[in-house]
Chains A and B, each alone.
Chain A
């Protein structure tokens, strides 16, 4: 059974940092693109970042470029999102999502999400 379990969310002050983790199990993690998708309270979904199977390619939504860094450790079946210089508008539930094995375009499994709140 595919499982994605996020952790690391919490309350952080504006300008602060947070590192999210996603533990994957039930599939061969190293063979899939992976993504982070967020959802602000009461709002829609927003793709944040993705990373290729071997970590050689990473892409970000414009609003987080230069502040967020996606990474993965295939030996630990884990996905990460380092979030720096956080802003109030980064407040959201952050989902880890399994992307395609061939093309980064389809999220077939999602974690339960972890809430990040940026507030003073």
Chain B
């Protein structure tokens, strides 16, 4: 199964908003409301930022939001801050208890 498709990079200035897309198929993103987003800083373990498309875990700023339309999910980071610079990965349930990740997007805060 191929990885979900994410843009390799995204960028924005402090205070701006940026949206990262995650495109799959009807067998994963489009078929289930189990899309998650993870933030990973260099040398660190990933951190859950969004789950079940648009839910935020406790402690995650409300600047982070998620949505889905058809086979494409999106993560929006509003009011960009320097500490938001990191790699972001989407994942989706893909049936038969399997999961699939996106290739990752490097977010740069200019």
Contact = CB atoms under 8 A, between A and B. Distances in A.
Same complex for A and B? Answer: yes
Interface of A: 35, 37, 44-47, 50, 52, 57, 59, 61-62, 95, 103-113
Interface of B: 1, 3, 32, 34, 36, 38, 40, 45-48, 51-52, 57, 89, 91-93, 96-104
Given A44-B3, A95-B46, 10 more contacts: A52-B97, A59-B97, A104-B99, A105-B32, A105-B52, A105-B92, A105-B93, A106-B34, A107-B38, A107-B46
A5 B81 CA distance: 30
A106 B46 contact: no
B100 A108 contact: no
A105 B3 CA distance: 15
Contacts of B103: 44
B51 A111 contact: no
Contacts of A35: 99
Is chain A's binding surface mostly helix, strand, loop or mixed? loop
B102 A59 contact: no
B52 A112 contact: no
Contact of A108 (B48, B91, B101): B48
Given A44-B3, A110-B46, A50 B97 contact: yes
Contacts of B52: 105-106
A45 B51 contact: no
Smallest CB-CB A-B distances: 9 pairs: A105-B34, A59-B97, A110-B45, A105-B93, A44-B104, A47-B99, A106-B51, A45-B101, A44-B103
A107 B98 contact: no
A50 B99 contact: yes
Given A47-B91, A95-B46, A105 B99 contact: yes
Nearest to A103: B34
Contacts of B57: 108
B7 to A, nearest CB: 13
A62 B45 CA distance: 24
Contacts of A112: 45
A28 B109 CA distance: 39
A62 B40 CA distance: 25
